[in-house]
Amino acid sequence: MSESRKNTVRRTNRVRLALRRVSRGRPRLSVFRSSKHIYAQVIDDAQGKTLASASSMEKDLRKSMPKGSDVSAAEAIGKLIAERAVKAGVKDVVFDRGGYIYHGRVKALAEGAREGGLNF
């Protein structure tokens, strides 16, 4: 494994360990971003199940968004994941930024999720 990949894995694990300490049984809103798309999942770690998910690769969203890798797409995914999580009965979550800096697309997704009704 390359040194940069090792650092990424260490940072991701460090963030998840900190979240586990403060979660108090709340589900985790996990974010993954690639160079072309952004993905979000609400995960219940106690049961090991995904409660809701959304990504910029979904056919319905691809028609309305020309790019899946910009801030407006991330905000739309945040609102969509919040809508699906509330529909699944989840209001309070812990935000797992996955080792990414809270800036740009990750921040836009978080703000969109807050506007959609999630509390974190």
CATH code where residue 13 lies: 3.30.420.100
Q: Is 106 exposed, middle or buried (0-12, 13-18, 19+ CB in 10 A)?
A: buried
C-alpha 71/C-alpha 106 separation (Å) is 8
Let me know: does 31 contact 106? Beta carbons within 8 Å: yes
Q: Return per-residue pLDDT of the chain as tens, 120 residues.
A: 899 999 999 999 999 899 988 899 899 999 999 999 999 999 999 999 999 999 999 998 888 888 989 999 999 999 999 999 999 999 999 999 999 999 999 999 999 999 999 999
C-alpha 94/C-alpha 11 separation (Å) is 17
pLDDT value of residue 54: 97
Judge if pTM exceeds 0.85: yes
Number of domains in the chain: 1
Domain span at 92? 3-116
